[in-house]
């Protein structure tokens, strides 16, 4: 097992990784920007290294500084967390070239899944259903027209290097197709330095459902069921739940098996998420994430499995601690992402925390790096806490979530707690009756003057 892990991240996920390491007897190294000198992840770690100035590009994305920090402290592995360098194949490669273990999949698997065209082709080959669309790249209008005529409008043009919703164009009729292909390609070139685009049937009212998998170096692969991440605003998830209100156990186990078999055939190792759009009883693969995700705790709450611990174990060559038959799903879990933002306009609200009182009690988990007196810097993501609640049933979970949100006190900055309190009282949400567009429609129709 590793002796010392460098955590190449900040905030709550850096704490989450530190905690897994501590419980495994592994020492930790925090890295931080100048702005994060007083951050909680720095205080908790056994050692810390300042890797650069405030801007992420100069610190948390600074590969030479991070490698040097690992060398100086003698770390034998690096955990990238989520965001930042977590899905940078070149970073994974450089880490390994320096004789340091990368806690994640191989650079090659990151690269294949990072290109949405090759990701789709790869999973389709092993039996995972994908969204109908172009076989690979669309080079010109002629290519696009041929595919669109086959699958019918509406279609969506996407960037091969995209993901997370950037560089997409929805096309409702043939007369708009040519400009959409050109716009998508131009935007992709500007955003990602790669103008490659592809085309898919646009699914109008799907849910976003993703499956968690774990795979070791010995050919063992398990799935840990799904998370429903449909509630999002501008491609930022707001609240996630597991299991999805839209699935039953039979669909879960059937789809999970297809996915686990495909992941085994692909030879992927580590923790991964297979993202689907789900519409009218059918799954359509869109992307695979090759990292631990923000919303991983809801899966931990319903399975009792420590995903970060398993990630560290498999990176060190150890087998998974469970097989598929050992995985039992218990009850329901919901995560609310709490951001330092105005709850209804979403204007960022950095600043100093005066009072911090997180909720507690049975089946309530708060993943956060906040403390009273801490100043939230304006340079990074605005997510400051995740409230994760479990219950025996979805209704028990909702009742407990109401209670926990009421208890939560964060004074000094605006937070999205009031949005969550309102959202979980909406009849459509209570009924589990929502799709990927529901939250944006809901927010558009709120009367901001009468809240």
12 vs 287, which CB is nearer to ligand MV4?
287
Closest to ligand MV4 by CB, 59 vs 169, is 169
Report, in Å, the least distance between residue 225 CB and ligand MV4. 20
Residues forming beta bridges with residue 31, ordered by sequence position: 49
**93: exposed, middle or buried (Cβ count in 10 Å: 0-12, 13-18, 19+):** middle
Closer Cβ to ligand MV4, 200 or 310, answer by number: 200
Residues 6+ apart with CB under 8 A from 430: 398, 424
Closer residue to ligand MV4, CB minimum distance, 275 or 367: 275
Q: How far is the CB of 161 from ligand MV4 (least distance, A)?
A: 12
Minimum CB separation of residue 279 from ligand MV4 in Å reads: 9
Q: Are 346 and 233 in contact (CB under 8 A)?
A: yes
Minimal distance, residue 331 CB to ligand MV4, in Å: 27
Cβ at position 235, least distance to ligand MV4 in Å: 5
Q: Which is nearer to ligand MV4, 1 or 205 (CB)?
A: 205
- The verdict on whether 291 is a catalytic residue reads yes
Residues near ligand MV4 (CB under 6 A) are: 131, 156, 163-165, 200-203, 208, 232, 235, 277, 286-287, 436
344, exposed or middle or buried, with CB in 10 Å at 0-12, 13-18, 19+?
Answer: middle
Please choose, from the candidates 179, 159, 154, 184, the residue with its C-alpha nearest in 3D space to the C-alpha of residue 169: 184
In the complex, least distance from residue 229 CB atom to ligand MV4, rounded to whole angstroms: 9
Least distance (Å) from ligand MV4 to the CB of residue 242? 18
Catalytic residue among 10, 16, 227, 291: 291
Please say which residue, 289 or 349, places its beta carbon nearer to ligand MV4.
Answer: 289
Question: Between residues 60 and 276, which has the closer beta carbon with respect to ligand MV4?
Answer: 276
Catalytic sites, residue numbers: 291
């Amino acid at each position: 097992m590793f002796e010392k892990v460098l955590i190449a991240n900040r905030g709550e996920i850096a704490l989450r990784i530190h905690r897994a390491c501590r419980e495994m007897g592994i020492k930790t190294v925090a890295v931080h920007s100048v702005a994060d000198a007083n951050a909680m992840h720095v205080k908790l770690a056994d050692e810390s290294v300042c890797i650069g100035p405030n801007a992420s590009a100069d610190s948390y994305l600074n590969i030479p500084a991070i490698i040097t920090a690992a060398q100086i402290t003698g770390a034998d592995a690096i955990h990238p967390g989520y965001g930042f360098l977590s899905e940078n194949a070149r970073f994974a490669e450089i880490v390994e070239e320096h004789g340091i273990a990368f806690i994640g999949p191989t650079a090659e698997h990151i690269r294949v899944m990072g290109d949405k065209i090759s990701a789709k082709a790869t999973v389709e080959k092993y039996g995972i259903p994908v969204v109908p669309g172009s076989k690979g790249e669309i080079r010109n209008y002629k290519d696009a027209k041929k595919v669109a005529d086959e699958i019918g409008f509406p279609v969506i043009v996407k960037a091969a290097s995209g993901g997370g919703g950037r560089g997409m164009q929805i096309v409702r009729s043939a007369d708009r197709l040519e400009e959409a292909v050109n716009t998508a390609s131009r935007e992709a070139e500007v955003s990602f330095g790669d103008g490659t685009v592809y085309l898919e049937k646009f699914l109008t009212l799907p849910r976003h459902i993703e499956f968690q998998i774990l795979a070791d170096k010995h050919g063992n692969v398990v799935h840990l069921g799904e998370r429903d991440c449909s509630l999002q605003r501008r491609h930022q998830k707001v609240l996630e739940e597991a299991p999805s209100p839209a699935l039953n156990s039979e669909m879960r186990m059937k789809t999970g098996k297809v996915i686990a078999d495909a992941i085994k055939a692909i030879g992927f190792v580590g923790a991964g998420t297979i993202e689907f759009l789900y519409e009218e009883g059918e799954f359509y693969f869109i992307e695979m994430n090759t990292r631990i995700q923000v919303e991983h705790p809801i899966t931990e709450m319903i399975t009792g499995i420590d995903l970060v611990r398993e990630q560290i174990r498999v990176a060190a060559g150890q087998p998974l601690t469970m097989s598929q038959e050992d995985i039992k799903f218990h009850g329901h879990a919901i995560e609310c992402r709490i951001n330092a933002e105005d709850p209804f306009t979403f204007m960022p609200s950095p600043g100093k925390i005066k009072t911090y009182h997180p909720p507690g009690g049975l089946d309530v988990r708060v993943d956060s790096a906040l403390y009273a007196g801490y100043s939230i810097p304006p340079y990074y993501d605005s997510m400051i806490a995740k409230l994760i609640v479990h219950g025996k049933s979805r209704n028990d979970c909702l009742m407990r979530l109401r209670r926990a949100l009421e208890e939560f006190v964060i004074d000094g900055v605006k937070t999205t707690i009031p949005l969550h309190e309102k959202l979980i009282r909406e009849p459509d949400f209570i009924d589990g009756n929502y799709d990927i567009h529901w939250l944006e429609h809901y927010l558009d129709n709120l009367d901001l003057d009468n809240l």
